[in-house]
A and B are shown apart, each in its own frame.
Chain A
Amino acid sequence: MPRKSLDLPPIEYLSILDPEGNVDTKLEPKIPPDDLKRLYRTFLLSRRFDERMLRLQRQGRIGTFGPTRGHEAAVLGSVYALRPTDWVVPYYREWPAYMWRGWPLDNLVLYYAGFAEGMRVPDGNRDLPLCIPIASQLPHAVGVAYAARYKGEGSVTLAYLGDGATSHGDCQEAMNFAGVFQVPLIFLILNNQWAISVPRSRQTRAKTLAQKATAYGFPGIQVDGNDVLAVCVATQEAVERARQGGGPTLIETVTYRLSMHTTADDPTKYRSEEEVKTWEAKEPLIRFRRYVEAKGVVDERTHAELEAEVDAEIRGAIERAEARMKPNLLEVFEHVYAERPPELEAQREALVHHLAEIGETPPS
């Protein structure tokens, strides 16, 4: 009897809050009203920040920018499931998670304006910086999770990646290591259907990205990525399992990048208006607003208050960031090594001398 079917785990799909705002009450997580309000506020902040940053880029006040519109439910639903002592390993679009974890907003503006100091992770925050080379942050997440367990802290690591990243060697290597070492780590894929211009169908022939977990020996689940509640529940389950020593989980959130990849590309070149419209109808902010309104957490008046609050916060952040945008070129010599080697010191002095010669004031 050489041929038989192997007993492989089925892949679940989870959705709790549908686009019309209907909730499956059997699956609904119990999120306290204060948390719901804070989640909604962060959602709004992220959305308005995203819009504002696009305008700043068009005005030439910041550099290339990658918007996050459409991803917020997946990011906020998952980061909500963490404790402050847990770790967040983002790729480069998950700053709603940073907002949730209290990053100064002006740091993000500063970073996108080309000042590296904006990516200094606030002291005490257990976050990694944004990471541009695709999937290369994932092995770091394995190392962080391994170290956390070695130190016996019980903390969990949440790593984000996109659908394109799943094609990458680093993703395969990290998931394989995570499975072998059974580290407390959650891989959360933001499957937004596009890796710049290449569709999800060109990343893999596999039916789902979630099923890839099976190959590495840990659970995988697909969830509606525009549904804060579903992402939250899936992440809470994964976090709980990881904390109990149950190892990693892969969560594929099915979502959509509603804007361009970055301000450097034009999505109308590679995807249809109809497709975007279909996804606009499943837009996560409207859906979440319906939910918090139904819960009585937010009404017209509080919504208007929150809009005014986040608008003021963003304006303040941009002002503070612009005040911090000092050319201060010698800053580039800091933090290369713990102690500057003599040759580098000589190069720094040469630059100071050069700046003086061309009449630029060396920084304080």
Chain B
Amino acid sequence: MANETRKLTMVKAINLALHQEMERDDDVMVLGEDVGVDEGVFRVTEGLLKKFGEQRVIDTPLAEGAIVGMAVGMAIYGLKPIPEIQFSGFAFQAFHQIENHAARYRARTRGRYHIQMVIRMPYGGGIRALEHHSESEEAYYAHTPGLKIVIPSAPRIARALLVSAIRDPDPVVFFEPKALYHAVREEVPDAEETWPIGQARVAREGTDLTLIAYGSMLHKCLEVADRVKVEDGAEIEVIDLLSISPMDGEAIAASVRKTGRAVVAHEAQRNCGVGAEVMARIVETAFLQLQAPIRRVTAPDVVYPGFARERGWLPDAEHVLSAVRETLRF
């Protein structure tokens, strides 16, 4: 059994992590809007209610603030709640609970209470959704001490990261790139896998330029790396950040010291975005090895448009490709 794998989408991989962690630990529970009978609007919580019952799989009234706030209280008691926010655009109505309380309880009580919880939320664009359903908000959270922010890029790593997040003693905001929910299938082992929070991975090795991305942008960057190899003969190293906070500055520095060139790409708007932090780290740690200015590929600093205009607004492989070529040619 231990060596068996299944080809899973990200939805199924995350669901596997929830099933296994809830089996392993009675204190792990799921709460949110439509997580029970409906099994989540994306079916991420499928089968949980049937297996674990309504004490542990809690369909809540519709109120994001109370969902997260109640989870804070459960965590104070020692439970390990996993609140789901249906779409990350609605999490602002719980932001004060995340910032004022989930992130700070350990500090406020000087270690007497800590909040072991994972706030799961689908995020990001590209699925032709309504207003407030497509934004990328990771930078808001990354600015908050006491929180950890992770963003998986594929099914297998999503499962491993979620298991680590559930077992992490600190509150973790777990952003699920919904454009990837069904886009990729991967072999995922039944046996337990974890991935340390705070650790990036090298998704593709290269020597000429470092491309740093996360979430669904990672796939566009890998596509660009393939094309550049064929069309330009350059080897691009692609770093999958995975953890936005804490950020793996060492992995970024090591790669840029080797390649001397860097491009960072994300879906979120530019101003004070995660890309700015990545660039700052590179300047602090690999400035003398840089052979070209660092470029960033981001969405423009405007409100996420209606889906009729999201193509072209959302950074795509072509945007990344031109930034990579300009940096290589500098």
Answer yes or no: B146 CB below 8 A from chain A CBs. yes
Residues of A within 8 A of B246 (CB): 341-344
Shortest C-beta distance, B177 to chain A (Å), equals 23
**What residue of chain A has the Cβ atom nearest to residue B76's Cβ?**
A144
Answer yes or no: B187 CB below 8 A from chain A CBs. no
Residues of B within 8 A of A145 (CB): 73
Which of A24-32, A201-209, A329-337 is the contact stretch? A329-337
**What residue of chain B has the Cβ atom nearest to residue A142's Cβ?**
B70
Among A119, A138, A139, A143, point to the contact of B108 (Cβ < 8 A): A119
Determine whether the beta carbon of B73 is less than 8 Å from that of A147: yes
Answer yes or no: A338 CB below 8 A from chain B CBs. yes
Shortest C-beta distance, B32 to chain A (Å), equals 12
Shortest C-beta distance, A284 to chain B (Å), equals 30
Among B75, B110, B112, point to the contact of A143 (Cβ < 8 A): B75
Residues of B within 8 A of A116 (CB): 107-108, 110
Among B68, B73, B112, B247, point to the contact of A141 (Cβ < 8 A): B73
Shortest C-beta distance, B173 to chain A (Å), equals 14
B92-115 contacts to A, CB under 8 A, are 96-97, 100-101, 106-114
Determine whether the beta carbon of A147 is less than 8 Å from that of B169: no
Determine whether the beta carbon of A140 is less than 8 Å from that of B101: yes
Determine whether the beta carbon of B70 is less than 8 Å from that of A146: yes
Shortest C-beta distance, A136 to chain B (Å), equals 6
Determine whether the beta carbon of A136 is less than 8 Å from that of B96: yes
Which of B59-67, B211-219, B294-302 is the contact stretch? B59-67
Determine whether the beta carbon of B110 is less than 8 Å from that of A139: no
Shortest C-beta distance, B67 to chain A (Å), equals 8
Determine whether the beta carbon of B73 is less than 8 Å from that of A142: yes
Shortest C-beta distance, B148 to chain A (Å), equals 8
Determine whether the beta carbon of B74 is less than 8 Å from that of A143: yes
Determine whether the beta carbon of A335 is less than 8 Å from that of B111: yes
Determine whether the beta carbon of B114 is less than 8 Å from that of A343: no
Which of A7-15, A172-180, A354-362 is the contact stretch? A172-180
Residues of B within 8 A of A181 (CB): 58
Determine whether the beta carbon of B111 is less than 8 Å from that of A150: no
Q: Main SS of the interface on chain A?
A: helix
Shortest C-beta distance, B139 to chain A (Å), equals 16
A136 to B103, CA, bound (A): 14
User: Known: A116-B110, A143-B73, A146-B70. Is A177-B249 also a contact (CB below 8 A)?
Assistant: no
Determine whether the beta carbon of A147 is less than 8 Å from that of B79: yes
Determine whether the beta carbon of A335 is less than 8 Å from that of B110: yes
Shortest C-beta distance, B52 to chain A (Å), equals 12
A110-134 vs B, CB cutoff 8 Å, 1 = contact: the mask equals 0000001101110100001100010
Determine whether the beta carbon of A336 is less than 8 Å from that of B146: yes
A128 to B69, CA, bound (A): 14
A312-339 vs B, CB cutoff 8 Å, 1 = contact: the mask equals 0000000000000000000000111110
Determine whether the beta carbon of A136 is less than 8 Å from that of B111: no
Instruction: Please tell me the size bucket of the interface on A.
Output: 35 or more
Determine whether the beta carbon of B66 is less than 8 Å from that of A142: yes
Answer yes or no: A245 CB below 8 A from chain B CBs. no
Answer yes or no: A151 CB below 8 A from chain B CBs. yes
Shortest C-beta distance, A300 to chain B (Å), equals 42
A146 to B68, CA, bound (A): 13
Answer yes or no: A170 CB below 8 A from chain B CBs. yes
Residues of A within 8 A of B170 (CB): 337-338
A73 to B23, CA, bound (A): 47
A98 to B247, CA, bound (A): 40
Determine whether the beta carbon of B61 is less than 8 Å from that of A176: yes
Determine whether the beta carbon of B69 is less than 8 Å from that of A139: yes
Shortest C-beta distance, A208 to chain B (Å), equals 24
Residues of B within 8 A of A173 (CB): 61, 63, 65-66, 69
Answer yes or no: B198 CB below 8 A from chain A CBs. yes
Q: List 20 A-B contacts (CB under 8 A).
A: A116-B107, A119-B108, A136-B69, A136-B96, A136-B100, A139-B69, A146-B73, A147-B78, A150-B55, A170-B65, A173-B61, A174-B70, A335-B111, A337-B146, A338-B114, A338-B168, A341-B198, A342-B246, A343-B247, A343-B249
A residues contacting B by CB (< 8 A) are 116-117, 119-121, 123, 128-129, 133, 136, 138-148, 150-151, 169-170, 173-174, 176-177, 180-181, 334-338, 341-344
Known: A343-B249, A344-B246. 6 other contacts (CB 8 A): A140-B70, A143-B73, A176-B66, A181-B58, A335-B109, A336-B145
B residues contacting A by CB (< 8 A) are 29, 55, 58, 60-61, 63, 65-66, 68-79, 81, 96-97, 100-101, 106-114, 145-146, 148, 168-170, 198, 246-247, 249-250
